Amino acid sequence: MSKENRGWTKYKGLDGSLATVLCLPTAIALASKNVQLDVKCTWCLTCNEDAIHVLFLCSFARSVWEDTGVESLIQVLPHDTVFDVLKRVFENGSREQIALIGLFCWSIWNRRNKWVWDRNNISVFGVKSAAISLLDDWKKARQEDHKHSSVRNIATRTWNKPPPGWVKINIDASIFPHINCSGLGSVIRDDTGRFLRARNRKVEAVLHPREAEALSLKEALSWAKDLGFQKCSFETDAKLLVNACKGEHGRSYFHTIVKDCVDYFKHFDQVLVDFVSRSANGVAHVLARATHSMSGSQEWVNTPPTFISDVIILDSI
């Protein structure tokens, strides 16, 4: 088998995405079909918008590709088409690298459409997070293909260790209207699942649930930054919060807190914010609920408090 054919074989199963990338309705492509429109890139406003520009050459696209771990595979030569760039990727990259690059291309294009049609401005972090989350889902789906469906459903609801060199920070919030307060909880574990720290805080106000969840993330980000962690995976059972971190920001108090969270991301080498089910977020949930009978804030280092010990043990099984 030739080197060229080996490259395409590694992409088998993802060829639908390839067809999409090679047929993008950019401004130049639409103009060639006699559609009357401004052909300038709507992001940088300096170059004509063709596929190679949107995906690889625009200043925003270049910001996305930086520090992805696959940027060395993206080589754009004079007069290249997207097909030429991806062909070299298929020939030289691993299957996972090829999948990641394809998903980054999709995420960049999706961001472009959000801006053109809805004027929703998704950040570089949002584009990267969407691609990485999709890759994780793709890998998990491939791993689960060989398991019974009931086992697969259980696996997606359990706490999992972060990658080597990372810490995982689970967060949650609880509301107690009858005593006019809210509670925030967070726990940090390393890549072996070992307990590092936990803390919770009672807020003397009844917050809206989504605002409480956002505040919990903001405080956890500040905490992780102060502790010097650089590779952090944050997990929450608040899907709305995760979507807001990866999408556009409104003007509500909730979105103001989310914007503060996104601003914290720049202080880390790598950071992820992912949605998990409540059953995979049990420790943080118990910490948040415990503020009901506490005052102020509490923090535990190296040794967990007894009221979460059993939940941590269950997570490790």
Question: Does residue 162 fall inside a structural domain?
Answer: no
Write down the pLDDT at residue 299. Answer: 96
In a domain, 150, yes or no: no
Mean pLDDT is highest, among 56-65, 182-191, 242-251, 280-289, for 182-191
> Residue 193 above 90 pLDDT?
yes
Q: What is the CATH number of the domain that holds 224?
A: 3.30.420.10
Q: Which residues of 209-241 are buried (b: 16+ CB within 10 A; e: fewer)?
A: ebbbbbbbbbbbbebbbeeebebbbbbbbbeeb
Q: Is the pLDDT of residue 119 over 50?
A: yes
Q: Is 162 in a helix, a strand, or coil?
A: coil
- The one-letter amino acid code at 184 reads L
Site of tokens 């959000």: 114
Residues 180 and 281 in one domain: yes
Give me the pLDDT at residue 141, please: 65
SS3 (DSSP) at 41: coil
161 in a structural domain: no
Query: Are 140 and 197 part of one and the same domain?
Result: no
159 found inside a domain: no
Which strands sit side by side in the sheet containing 297-301, from one edge to the other?
270-275, 231-236, 167-176, 181-189, 195-203, 297-301
pLDDT value of position 151: 39
The structural domain count of the chain equals: 2
Task: Round to whole Å and give the CA distance between 23 and 219.
Answer: 44
| Choice between 278 and 272, residue whose per-residue pLDDT is larger | 272
* Together in a domain, 192 and 123: no
Task: Write down the pLDDT at residue 116.
Answer: 83
Q: Are 171 and 135 in the same domain?
A: no
How many angstroms separate the CA atoms of 310 and 41, rounded?
Answer: 55
The position carrying tokens 């977020």 is 281
CA dist 315 and 304 (Å) reads 14
User: What does the block give as tokens for 187?
Assistant: 């726990």
Kindly state whether residue 241 falls inside one of the protein's structural domains: yes
The domain boundary residue, chosen from 144, 175, 209? 144
pLDDT tens digits for range 198-239: 999 999 999 999 999 999 999 999 999 999 999 999 999 999
pLDDT in tens, 22-55: 467 888 888 888 888 899 998 888 899 999 999 9
Range of the domain at 254: 167-316
